[in-house]
Chains A and B, each alone.
Chain A
Amino acid sequence: MSDILNLSALGLRDAIAAGEVSAAEATRDYLDAIEAMDKKVCAYNEIFAERAMGRAEEIDKKRSAGKTLGALAGVPVAVKDNICTSFGRTSCSSKILENFHAPYDATVAGKLESAGAIILGKTNMDEFAMGSSTENSAFNATRNPWDTSHVPGGSSGGSAAAVAARMCAAAVGSDTGGSIRQPAAFCGVVGLKPTYGRVSRYGLVAFGSSLDQIGPLARDVADSALLLGAIAGHDTHDSTSIDRPVPEYLASLDKPVEKLRVGLVKEFHSESLDDEIRAAVDKAVKIYRDAGAEIIEVSLPHSRVDTDEGGQLSSYAVACYYLVATAEASSNLARYDGVHYGHRTADKVGDIIELYSRSRAEGFGDEVKRRIMLGTYALSSGYYDAYYLKALKVRRLIKNDFDKAFENCDVLLCPVAPETAFKIGEKTADPLTMYLSDIYTISVNLAGIPGVSIPAGLSESGLPLAVQLLGNVFAEETLLRAARMYEMASGITRLTPEIVKEN
């Protein structure tokens, strides 16, 4: 592995600014790493080698000309394939958008590039971000770089795997119910879901519009702060983005939060939790206590996880989430009908209904169909009140729990997922079991608050462990500082899988 690949995004940015490394060299190294490793990991759907090199050379020219460089100048990044770019394809890992070329850039893609980042390619994902393992991609199943027989998590599995396997300096993904945090946990990287409205959704292909949020996946907390600073901010193209100044996340990062109050979520610390993950959370409690933080037990009754007689986990939040998210998705995905763009059946059809129904049947994968059907059902006449409306009310109860918790706490501590990365194929047969992967991440999206997944070492079997910190709305600064405290004290950062060392 080249030294360049070992640098953090921040380190690389500074090295390029100092003239120690050129953007072109860095980009070349990353493209080589992808070339060497992506056959095994399958993190990318598309690589923009030529374009990336061109952009890198421009950055280098700018630097030699003494021009001001952006916050990410020369840093090669990966973008999840549900974020529109005016170059290449934006497929959402779906057959229905397999050949879709967006005629515009998502605000985040534009912001990354105007900060000088080099977009290397688009990363694989669960189709339309629906899944927790990246196995629902219509193209490829991405592998976990720590053990290629395991999943990388999802839906931003490609982005997480690319960061972990050093195939990009950092990446962006999207998180609707845990889709940044859970794959970050599975791949041993830092994954941040910002407050709803902190980052523009314009150009992010919608799944659950009131839940979706773009965020960074990075090797350490500082890189996460760097990326968040570059992509956050108000956007007039997104009515739900918030007009509120973006703090200098990096500037304050190393300052520990004084009199930090850490809430330990009682309901998430249950027996059903995997022993090693439980131990990781306990260890985090100790680290914070040692750092002088106050540990407060808090309750999120409507997010609680139960185990039923059959041993199956259950939670109101999961039920609430799958109704809200699928209802919105059923509507968001109605536009893929083979008329204005996207896949259209090659069969001769009798009428417009057949054109729609067959194009969609051919273009969508099973999980996407299942969710569209569920969402359609939840909104349909006769079921609306019992399902969709009920879910919106429960959502309020879940949010109220968080509001109450944050009256006494600065951050909340809990696991990210109930287990470490599972084996490929292990959960594909039972959709409900797969949904339960999101049991600790889902209520965060319902409440709209920020959450970050931080690496917590490795399990006995060599797979990454993680803990999750949650913050109050727009408290990313505190959240990142608290995460940095943990990172510093634990010494766990920039974990490197064997596969990278072998390369």
Chain B
Amino acid sequence: MTKPDNTQPVIGLEIHVELATETKMFCRCANRFGDPPNTHTCPVCIGMPGSLPVMNKKAVEYSMKVGMALNCTVPEFTKWDRKSYYYPDLPKNYQISQYDLPLTIDGHLDIPLTGGQTKRIGITRAHLEEDAGKNVHDFPAHTGVDLNRAGVPLLEIVTEPHLRSVEEVMSFARAMHRLVRWLGVSQANMEMGQMRFEPNISLWVGDPEKVFDESAGYFTPIFEVKNLNSFRSLERTCQWVIDYHQARIAEKGRGWSLADVGKQNWGFRDDLNACEFQRGKEEAHDYRYFPEPDLAPVVVDDAWRERIAKQIGELPIARKARYLDKYKISEKEADALTLDSPTGDLLDAAVAAGAEAKRCVNLMLGKGASIANERGCRIAEIRITPEQLAELAKMLAGGKVNATAADKIFAKMVETGDTPGKIAEAEGLLAIFDAGKIGEWVDQAIAKNPQAVEDVRAGGKKQKKAFGFLTGQVMQLSGGAATPAQVQKLLHEKLGG
């Protein structure tokens, strides 16, 4: 069996993002992960008889924000629909979702590819729906249901089938992860299921330049794989399915086609590091969508759209480009600083306060990142002000403190909120200059000012003035960090007199 040539992966992605609202989508229970089961529920999210949903405004606005950042249109009219299916984590046995008139439509996201190129991926729609609860499988003979997550606002972003390789899928997924964190609409913590991927994977067999042109080839069956909650599982799934299709084509030839087999649902098994069949087209759901009678449609006017647009600001790709260009930092550093927007905002504010960008970056990605990592938060959230950061960067630049001391000061600063100057003094962390460093500045001053040197050496009435001038020059070079006594001592040693 030979591997078929002329195949082209064609992949579309659905991404579910849990929105970081304070409360759930239709009730005011806390939207919180990790608490004991069924501690954040009420008649509405348990789906009790008589309860009614009321739409969370923040959820709508967060969704608009993502849609607009994805260059989507936000239509004037949007409504809610019920999607029916039975599952124990879906207490009403229907999910409130959006069917034919989603909140945002027709956008795109430009994703970076290796070699510095970008590719535009079409976004079909991004719609708002409620999350289901959680089925817990830790019991030997039954399943437990926890409804804490039931009713959490969930944004479903659907791409066009524009992705053509695993690399593109991963680049898109990472860009999307960064974007929603950036916009502050989701923590997108994948371990907590706050971001889940659902690729639709097929291979085009035929001329890769003519995908969708039926005279030039055909599609293998489409595999839909749900609920992937790590980059690793997404990557592995895409590769696995592509390989699987290749093998089936080799085995079955033309019989392995979308027309013959249809669409199938597969699931990824972490333990097997492979996918397994779930159901075929014969068992496809009939979701019986119809307009949700309990919720009013939403009409979005220009004023509302503009208000949201203003909240979006500079997007990560643009910011990263600016950092590379203006701050002259590395690609890796720029990436790390554009994972979310407050972190970059902190950097920009510190630079605006007169600090050197590179030094701020080192501090943020050094001690800052390690503290953030310990706390499991973003760098911007470790409680440090731009003023503190700028001052510390300047102290470093001026040699008032060395790198080790700066780390200590940084940690203390985060802990106490004091200014770095105060901490340095109190903790005795100000630099005690070694003769070598000051000596270098003295040498520089001597080299640059031959006339003054001559005047000193010559002695006489000009000597004192020239000595004072040279001392001043060295002090300037040291950024005010050296003490005049040290400087004068060295000048005397080098010049005599």
Contacts and interface: CB of A to CB of B under 8 A. Distances in A.
B294 A240 contact: yes
Nearest to B86: A356
Contacts, number: 102
Contacts of A328: 290, 293
A388 interface: yes
Contact of B293 (A83, A209, A236): A209
- Listed residue (A331, A336, A384) with the most chain B CB atoms within 10 angstroms of its CB: A331
Interface in B268-313: 286, 288-290, 293-296
B288 A379 contact: yes
B47 A340 contact: yes
Interface string B201-218: 000000000000000000
Interface residues of A, number: 45
Contacts of B261: none
B84 A339 contact: no
Nearest to A334: B93
A498 interface: no
Contacts of B290: 327-328, 331, 379, 384, 388
A136 interface: no
Interface in B354-394: none
- Listed residue (B50, B53, B294) with the most chain A CB atoms within 10 angstroms of its CB: B50
Interface residues of B, number: 30
Contacts of B46: 340-341
A202 B91 contact: no
Contacts of B288: 330-331, 376, 379-381, 384
Given A239-B294, A328-B293, A100 B52 contact: no
B296 A240 contact: yes
Contact of B50 (A205, A327, A381, A384): A205
A117 B48 CA distance: 25
Contacts of A330: 288
B48 A341 contact: yes
Nearest to A381: B286
Interface string A304-338: 00000000000000000000000110110011110
B82 interface: yes
Given A104-B43, A209-B293, A381-B286, A335 B91 contact: yes
A337 B286 contact: no
B88 A352 contact: yes
A335 B50 contact: no
B92 interface: yes
A124 B86 CA distance: 30
B50 A203 contact: yes
A239 B94 contact: no
Interface in A380-412: 380-381, 384, 388
Given A237-B54, A239-B55, A376-B288, A335 B49 contact: yes
A103 interface: yes
Interface in B42-91: 43, 46-55, 82, 84, 86-88, 91
A202 B50 contact: yes
A204 interface: yes
Given A210-B293, A337-B93, A331 B50 contact: no
Given A327-B290, A388-B290, A103 B48 contact: yes
B286 A239 contact: no
A179 B430 CA distance: 85
Contacts of A202: 50-52
Contacts of B295: 239
Nearest to A201: B52
A472 interface: no
A84 B49 contact: yes
A206 B44 CA distance: 13
A97 interface: yes
A82 B82 CA distance: 23
Contact of B49 (A102, A337, A376): A102
Interface pairs A-B: 6 shortest CB-CB = A334-B93, A209-B293, A210-B293, A379-B288, A205-B49, A203-B50
Interface of A: 82-84, 90, 92, 97, 100, 102-104, 106, 201-206, 208-210, 236-240, 327-328, 330-331, 334-337, 339-341, 352-353, 356, 376, 379-381, 384, 388
14 contacts: A90-B50, A92-B49, A100-B49, A201-B52, A204-B50, A239-B52, A328-B290, A328-B293, A334-B94, A335-B49, A335-B91, A335-B92, A341-B46, A352-B87
Given A104-B48, A240-B52, A331-B288, 6 more contacts: A90-B49, A208-B293, A237-B52, A337-B93, A339-B145, A384-B290
Interface of B: 43, 46-55, 82, 84, 86-88, 91-94, 145, 147, 286, 288-290, 293-296
